[in-house]
Chains A and B, each alone.
Chain A
Amino acid sequence: MDPWVHLAVAVLLPPFFGALVAVLFPARRTNLPWIAAVVSCGLAFFASVAGLIYAVTEGTVHYHLGGWEPPMGIELVMDPLSAFFCAVIAGVASFVFIHGKTVVERETPEKVIPFYSTALLLIGGLLGIILTGDLFNLYVFLEISSLAGYALVAIGDKRAPVSAFRYLILGTIGASFYLLGVAFLFMETGSLNMRDVAEIIPIAGDSPATVAGLILIVFGIGLKMALFPMHGWLSDAYTHATSTSTAIIAPIGTKVAAYVLLRTCFYMFDPEYVRNEIPLTTIIGFLGAAGIIWGSVLAIAQRDLKRMLAYSSISQVGYIALGVGLASPYGMIGAVLHTLNHAVMKACLFLVNTNILERFRHTHIPRFDRTYRIRMPWTMAAFTVSAISMIGLPPTAGFFSKWYLVLGSWERSNYLFLAVIVISSLLNIVYFFRVLEKVYLRTDGEPYDDRNEQEDLALKREEARGSMLFPVLFLAVGLLVIGLANAFIVTTFIRPMIPDGL
């Protein structure tokens, strides 16, 4: 057997292994679990990138766990789609972990080891969801990641357990609906292997049970994805959790749910069928569009930076749903590219938020002023770049996912989606430039004068320490690189993953 096929499992093992190892370290040595987390995520990242290249050049890897042949056994599937998502998640998580060192030690000094262990379980669970080719196994990984997620959200301020509990209730409903959908599909097809199910569904024909199963799955996953109007849990959960918890969950948690949507709607079912017979993708698209606008409007209303970013996540997830909803090649390119872009920019923004919190002890936007830019120039520069990318201006990454979504909207002649993309970009301008104005300009209405200049010169630079600055800058530069290299990413990686039916 080709040894490279072990890459599929090599992605999955490091986080779980790291989670176990982290617990073994003595409590005093707080840097050891940190190293374990960074290293295991880094390994998973390199394995996913290698797997992505392998899947693109040599074809999809089907890895039979324990040597059991599917449909009896569980298989891991590493095709371009899953490898791409794994790379995004492991990559972003590595940077968040690198950044987290001092923050975790300060925010949760007693719980450094459990924190890293749980976070690694979360990453492992998410990677498992992506890689597995088995519907029930996906449920198990979903619950592993969710349980780890509840725990991470619950570490935080005094109100964190309440939002974690609400997240748990809704998350359980979502996962249970997913399981219910799987039950329907299983009853109809007698199989749990995704490929197997995909082959049986056309033979089994157009039965209400399969349709009901798909709808239940989409509903359950939509809850996990915070698809409008099921987004209620997200903002509180992100706001009250600790900085690093949020930074690790926010960029990647919802993306995985988007992946499951893509996988079930376009790979397990025939996209034509999902689009035309049951207008499911259209509904997803409209919910996404509604979420984009609603999330942006609420983001404008927020006075706390972290909460604003949380609402902006709801809106950005809407873009991905909109791309899925278009059910066209360009729509899918837009959706997949936007998962990458949004993961990078949201990670960058939440890390900037953390840097601000660490230095100034608050993230209340009305209290920001121009001294922030002088005291933390690089952090603010990174914020500016990611804000521009969030708005979607060239040549940053955010522009190009919007470009493909625009092409997709024209492809489907969907003028409403087009209007939503335009309007939401304008709303993004409002809530990001509000912050940028505060940070860069004198905003009390008087002109910038000699006294201001003296004050500014007297200020010392108090930039965040290296381990917190480097990931932020790297992600910000990454946004420009992804933007300029997007054609390469699309043609090499995303084009091959578009299923035949689209």
Chain B
Amino acid sequence: MSLPETYSSSIPFLALLVSLLAVPLILWSSKRPNLREFWTLLAAAIKFGLVLTLLPGALEGKVAEFVLLEIAEGIELSLRADSFGMYFALIASGLWILTSFYSIGYMRGHHEKKQTRYFASFAVSLSATIGIAFAGNLLTFIVFYEMLTLATYPLVIHSENRKAIRAGRQYLAYALTAGLLMVAGSGLIYMLTGSIDFEPSGILEEGMLGAGGMRVLFFMLLIGVGVKGGIMPLHSWLPNAMVAPTPVSALLHAVAVVKSGVFGVVRMVGFVFGPDVMVAYDLNTILAVFAGATIILASVIALRQNNLKRRLAYSTVAHLSYIAMGAALLNADGFTGGILHISTHATMKITLFFCAGAIIVHAHRENVSDLDGLGRAMPWTFGAFTIGAMGLTGLPPVNGFLSKWFLCMGSLDAGQIIVLCVFLTSGLLNAAYLFPVVYRGFFRTSEKFEGLGEANPFMVVPLCITAALSVVFCLFPNLFFGLFDLATATVDAVLR
């Protein structure tokens, strides 16, 4: 096997460190909100810049590697910016900049308390996400995975009322159990192979364990990453975690945290188990069954939600399983589609959550049934929402179309008509639960919102940018960042 060319570079580590270093500064300037937010924005900009400097190398197929220290006997805390890691890091760090602007508008507009804690936890979460993206082995992955769990806990319980604390407990119980199972599973892999480095096309080989043992191991790791990835029946923390402030729902519960979960699923499938083992022990079927069930069930549940954020949360649950399904297909088109869906869903869903947040802050409405006529008062917000809704349904020219196209091609390639049906049905369901919002906003009339006007530009500008990005990335998927090339490079490496 030809390993990609690697070079030593401290930039992956610096990219991780920069938001961590911002934390003391944020805490120190807690009495001066403008300075505090300046640190967040500065850290976000530097982080994105650092990630960008790694991009040319990654596009040429070179992997920047940084070994920090030996984290446990025989295992290094290593950061490797391979194409897949770069892909995820670019999305997370790029959207952090937009979310930071949005957060300022949202948190001040909503008069939220304890904003210092909020911004500090947010910065730590982003460090952990970058760590997950660049993790070179399972233990490094786990270290940052648990760090992410702890850092997002204060965000979930932000309002400190009974509902929030209960959601926080549930989140911890789910996520930490998952982490423990992953620790146990990694231990077994280490004992079997003597290595837990992520390697394209997997480190496990056939015959290392019996069929039963291999499946148990797969379940351990799948539950480990599947909790954050919202795979049913492990999803129920996610809708409840929507009590968090909306920027948290937008970046963490639509991009960073949940995507870490599905990112982990793809890592497990492509870089730990590998396609051969997946097929040999029917592990891909197991994954596909859970993912398919999640897609349909979550979409159906989303139909019944009146609270807009909860509806979007269930939609997130469904779309995360698109990615897992793509990985389970194990062919070039399916895998590409799955990976692409990480970025396309990120831009679309963050747009939708931004819109939901703007509606909460500006119009003080949380339920879908109260939105009649609001679209005329907030045309930009609802316009962006429409674009997001179109994308999730899979209509061109929004980037959701692109990933869905590849996913459908992949299922045809694999001869899985059922999977194709799942994707198509879910597309219809998406339309059924998202377009009523658009319809109510634009086509129903109500006098309640007359003269209300558009929300704070701190919120409206970011959501317009993400909506625009969603369109641009459909027409030019390689624009600026070569996301499409990164995705295909990953697929080539895994499937050889």
Contact = CB atoms under 8 A, between A and B. Distances in A.
Question: Does B bind A?
Answer: yes
Interface of A: 333, 388, 391, 393-395, 399-400, 402-404, 406-407, 409-411, 418, 421-422, 425-426, 429, 433, 437, 441-443, 445-450, 452-453, 484-488, 490-491, 495
Contacts of B149: 393
B114 to A, nearest CB: 7
B176 A452 contact: no
B143 interface: yes
A411 B191 contact: yes
5 contacts: A393-B149, A394-B146, A403-B139, A409-B187, A450-B113
B162 A452 contact: no
Given A410-B187, A426-B173, A447-B160, A484 B143 contact: no
Interface in B164-187: 164-165, 169, 172-173, 176-177, 179-181, 183-184, 187
Contact of B157 (A411, A421, A441, A490): A441
Contact of B161 (A394, A429, A446): A446
Contact of B72 (A400, A422, A442): A400
Contacts of B188: 410
A418 B173 CA distance: 18
Given A418-B184, A433-B169, A426 B177 contact: yes
A426 B178 CA distance: 11
Contacts of A404: 72-73
Given A426-B177, A433-B169, A491-B73, A447 B161 contact: yes
Interface in B315-353: none
B72 A395 contact: no
Nearest to B71: A487
Contacts of A485: 69
Contact of A394 (B74, B143, B157, B190): B143
Contacts of A446: 161-162
Contacts of B169: 433
Nearest to A433: B172
Given A393-B176, A400-B72, A407 B157 contact: no
B130 interface: no
A394 B147 contact: yes
Interface of B: 69-75, 113-114, 139, 142-143, 146-147, 149-150, 157, 159-162, 164-165, 169, 172-173, 176-177, 179-181, 183-184, 187-188, 190-191
A450 B110 CA distance: 13
A78 B303 CA distance: 71
B132 to A, nearest CB: 13
Contact of A448 (B71, B73, B114): B114
Among A394, A406, A407, A429, residue most surrounded by chain B Cβ atoms (within 10 Å): A394
A425 B160 contact: no
A442 B160 contact: yes
A403 B73 CA distance: 10
Nearest to B147: A394
A447 B191 CA distance: 48
Given A429-B173, A449-B113, A395 B143 contact: yes
Nearest to A411: B191
A417 B403 CA distance: 44
A143 B216 CA distance: 49
B74 to A, nearest CB: 8
A477 to B, nearest CB: 15
A429 B172 contact: yes
Contact of B142 (A394, A421, A425, A488): A394
B159 A447 contact: yes
A391 B149 CA distance: 13
The 6 closest A-B pairs by CB, nearest first: A487-B70, A445-B162, A406-B187, A447-B161, A394-B143, A448-B160
A337 to B, nearest CB: 10
Given A394-B143, A402-B183, A448 B159 contact: yes
A466 B143 CA distance: 33
A410 B194 CA distance: 13
A422 B183 CA distance: 9
A473 to B, nearest CB: 15
Nearest to A448: B160
A488 B72 CA distance: 8
Given A429-B176, A452-B113, A484 B187 contact: no
A323 to B, nearest CB: 14
A403 B160 contact: no
A415 to B, nearest CB: 9
Contacts of B172: 429, 433
A222 B183 CA distance: 30
A437 B169 CA distance: 10
A422 B161 contact: no
B146 to A, nearest CB: 5
Contacts of B72: 400, 403-404, 486-487, 490
B306 to A, nearest CB: 21
A478 to B, nearest CB: 17
B26 to A, nearest CB: 16
A453 B116 CA distance: 13
Given A393-B146, A429-B172, A484-B71, A422 B160 contact: no
A442 B168 CA distance: 13
B13 to A, nearest CB: 14
B162 to A, nearest CB: 4
Nearest to A434: B169
A465 to B, nearest CB: 23
Given A422-B181, A426-B173, A484-B69, A453 B191 contact: no
A388 to B, nearest CB: 7
B312 to A, nearest CB: 22
Contacts of A433: 169, 172
Among A442, A485, A490, residue most surrounded by chain B Cβ atoms (within 10 Å): A442
A401 to B, nearest CB: 10
A193 to B, nearest CB: 33
Contacts of B161: 445-448
Contacts of B73: 333, 404, 486-487, 490-491, 495
Nearest to A428: B176
B184 A487 contact: no
Contacts of B165: 437, 441, 443
Contacts of B143: 394-395
B191 A425 contact: no
Contact of A487 (B69, B160, B180): B69
B146 A422 contact: no
Contacts of B150: 388, 393
Contacts of B177: 422, 426
A38 to B, nearest CB: 32
Contact of A425 (B70, B75, B176): B176
A56 to B, nearest CB: 16
A438 B71 CA distance: 33
Given A441-B157, A447-B159, A487-B73, A453 B113 contact: yes
A425 B69 contact: no
B156 to A, nearest CB: 11
Contact of A406 (B74, B75, B184): B184
A446 B162 CA distance: 6
Contacts of A445: 161-162
A490 B114 CA distance: 41
A409 B70 CA distance: 22
A315 B188 CA distance: 24
Contact of B183 (A406, A447, A448, A453): A406
